Structure 1
Amino acid sequence: MTVQRLIHASSNGDRWSLARDAGADRDAVHILHEPAAASGGRPARIGLASFLAGNPDAPERRALVDLVGTLVEAAPVTAAAPEAGAAAAEPSPGEEAV
């Protein structure tokens, strides 16, 4: 079963959706590109890394980045105190250990 959320529809009829295939083994998240019917192209699955590595000015890429940004706005993360006995992170070069 595939669920999808439209992230961008171009004026020429191309559509890009964030999609997830819910399978027995794992969920696979990808971009589903559905070309305009007039182009005669076939739908294509694009991996998230490949999609995000594309043209940073492409409206469909900007739409995905904006969508991800809303997740940060909706649920800000606050720093929690480390659990008792948790190992501390190694200091960065040039940083003193406390």
Structure 2
Amino acid sequence: MTERLIHKSSNGDVWALARDPDSKLPAVKHRPNASSGGRTSYTDIGKFLREGAGGPEHQALLKLIGTLLDDAGRSS
């Protein structure tokens, strides 16, 4: 899998978990809608979460990350 959808807004912006093509590290890929220019950008995951954790795309990323945790591995 090369990327995983995080969130698609009602205006057509799309965020996905992907690899930055330059660094090859996991990053958030943002593809704005065509009326915003449509220029794709990549942001480090930590920076993305620090810059606006209240947005629906940020909450969706946190939820996605949470699905990677195995409930059986949690300490009680």
Q: Percent identity?
A: 42
Unaligned runs of 5+ in 2: none
Partner of 2:13: 14
Secondary structure at the counterpart of residue 76 of structure 1: helix
1:44 paired with 2:38, answer no
Secondary structure at the counterpart of residue 45 of structure 1: strand
Partner of 1:68: 65
Partner of 2:30: 33
Q: Runs (4+) of structure 1 moved beyond 6 Å?
A: none
> Does the C-alpha gap of structure 1 residues 21 and 75 become closer, same or farther in structure 2, counting only changes over 3 Å?
farther
In angstroms, what is the RMSD of aligned CA positions? 2.5
* Structure (1 or 2) with the larger CA radius of gyration: 1
Which stretch has the larger CA shift, 59-68 or 2-11? 2-11
Unaligned runs of 5+ in 1: 80-98
- Contact 1:19 / 1:29 at 8 angstroms: preserved in 2? yes
- Contact 2:20 / 2:42 at 8 angstroms: preserved in 1? no
